[in-house]
Amino acid sequence: MLAFDDAAGRPAVEEEEENYFVSMTDMMVGILFIFIIMLMVFALQFQKQTDESEQQADKSKVQIEEVLEKVRQVSEQLHSLRSEINEELEDLSQSQRERTALLNDLERELKATGLDVQIDRENGVLRLTENAIRFATDKSNLSAQAADNVRKLAAVLARVLPRYTSCVVSSSATDCKQLAPGAAIDTVFIEGHTDRQGSETAAGDSRNWQLSTERAVETYRTLTAFEPSLRALRNPEKKEILSVSGYSSTRPIPGTEMPAQAAENAQQAWEKNRRIDMRFVMQVDPSDRLKDVLRLTDDMEGQIEKLQEAATLR
């Protein structure tokens, strides 16, 4: 039998079904509402993350631009440095040419006087052979013939060196002139040398150091005694260009350094090494250091290019 609702006149089953569907509808609406709220929360979080990402991107962009600006500045500085170094290297090349011209002038005039000299153009050395200045074993004094040869050398130096010297001192004033880069003499070293006899012992080695210096000093004194004007020649810093140094037996002439030789050959080698060299140093910086700096700037430029590429990719 069917049950009737007396008030409404409707079956009870229909009322129960209606309440069920109302509850389901309310639940679905509630779930949908919750979903909408979750979606809004997600949207807000996404928007916040997007804003933060944009801010971070803007910040990164500013940082990258700052880095690129610094890279640009460093690159300009390196370019300027490279230009300066290339100019210095050109001055060094000019210095080499000037020193070679100086050595050629000296060689030509010295040989015209009959002096036997050898020229090492690469190292800037004028070598007075044993035929020009000869020292006896364990002696630093000049023989009459050697002293006369030093007189000839002094006369040639007095004629040639002023052309390559920045300043000349007189009793009344210091007269200076502007020479081309690398064309001015900085120092002329009068270098004394010995043979290797006695170098095996401490006492002998000490004596050779003293002896080589004495030979250089004796030659210097004789040169300036014959030509006092040599002491008036000054470098760009207004310092005397003539100087002395002693090397004992540490710088033998190439080909004479072998210890085991026949007695006759050994005697000839010893005579060759009891000598005076003159080393000419021009007013320039060492080229090796400049070349090292140039290689360093090349490496730095390579690193800068890598930084620029990395910054552009970001």
What pLDDT digit, counting tens, does each position of 18-30 carry? Answer: 554 455 555 666 6
Cα separation, 214 vs 141, in Å, equals 8
DSSP class of residue 2 equals -
Q: How far is CA 70 from the centre of its chain?
A: 24
Superfamily of domain 113-283 in CATH is OmpA-like domain (3.30.1330.60)
Question: Would you report the helix, strand and coil content of the chain in percent, each value rounded to 5?
Answer: 60, 10, 25
- pLDDT tens-place values along the chain, 314 residues long: 444 445 445 555 455 555 544 555 556 666 666 766 776 766 667 666 666 677 776 776 776 677 667 767 767 777 777 777 777 777 677 888 899 999 999 999 999 999 989 999 999 999 988 788 888 888 999 999 999 999 999 999 999 999 999 999 988 888 999 888 778 999 999 999 998 887 778 877 889 999 999 999 999 999 999 999 999 999 999 999 999 999 998 988 887 766 555 556 777 778 888 899 999 999 875 555 566 666 766 766 666 666 666 656 55
pTM for this model (two decimals): 0.64
H or E element in which residue 48 lies:
helix 12-112
Centre a 10 Å sphere on the Cβ of residue 180 and count the other Cβ atoms it contains.
11
User: What pLDDT shows up at residue 286?
Assistant: 56
User: What pLDDT shows up at residue 183?
Assistant: 87
Does residue 290 contact residue 85 with C-beta atoms inside 8 Å? yes
- For the chain, domain boundaries: 10-105+286-314, 113-283
Backbone phi and psi for residue 280, each to the nearest 5 degrees, phi listed first:
-105, 120
Cα separation, 67 vs 61, in Å, equals 10
User: What pLDDT shows up at residue 15?
Assistant: 53
